[in-house]
Structure formats: structure tokens, C-alpha cells
């Protein structure tokens, strides 16, 4: 049987990040530079997303670190993320 997690800390963190972005980089919410091929914003967006996924996996699995196997790139998928 799956146990339920208290996701309020994640919701608070998401709200805090949204507030920080609105205060410190309001244009980032509309510019979407991370969608532009070859930009540093795209690299940092993918890095941040990877870290967020790893943190979510740690949270969901009660593991101090995610499995190294689960974090390796899928060699069967031919499309590029960046």
C-alpha cells in the first residue's frame, strides 16, 4: 500500500520561487529564453529541471540519493533535450 506524502513543503517552495521570480526577474515569466536553442538560459533550465526531478525522486522514495541507473540518459531516445 502506498503511503501519502505531505506535499505542503513542495507547494510552499514552488510559491516562494514564483514570488522570488516575480520580484527579481519578472521578464523571465514572459521572455522564455530557455526555449531558444544554444542559449545559456536553455542549459540552466535543463540543469535546474534535472535537479528538481532528482529532488522529487528523493522525496517520493525516501531515498537520500536517486538511483544512478534511473538518472542515466536514455540511449534509445534519439531526440535532444538541449
Domain definitions of the chain by residue range: 34-68
pLDDT of residue 5: 82
Question: In the chain, pLDDT over 70 holds for what percent of residues?
Answer: 76
**What is the arithmetic mean of pLDDT over 18-28?**
93
pLDDT of residue 77: 44
**What is the arithmetic mean of pLDDT over 66-81?**
52
Interatomic CA distance for residues 50 and 8, integer angstroms: 21
**What is the residue-averaged pLDDT of the chain?**
81
Widest Cα–Cα separation across the chain? 45
Q: What are phi and psi of 23, to 5 degrees?
A: -80, -45
Per the CB < 8 A criterion, the answer to whether 43 and 52 are in contact is no
pLDDT of residue 79: 45
Long-range contacts of range 65-73, CB-CB < 8 Å, 24 or more positions apart? none
Amino acid at each position: 500500500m502506498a503511503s501519502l506524502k505531505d506535499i505542503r513543503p513542495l507547494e510552499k517552495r514552488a510559491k516562494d520561487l514564483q514570488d522570488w521570480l516575480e520580484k527579481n526577474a519578472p521578464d523571465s515569466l514572459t521572455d522564455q529564453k530557455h526555449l531558444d536553442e544554444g542559449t545559456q538560459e536553455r542549459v540552466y533550465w535543463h540543469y535546474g529541471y534535472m535537479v528538481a526531478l532528482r529532488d522529487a525522486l528523493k522525496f517520493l522514495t525516501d531515498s537520500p540519493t536517486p538511483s544512478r541507473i534511473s538518472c542515466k540518459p536514455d540511449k534509445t531516445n534519439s531526440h535532444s533535450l538541449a
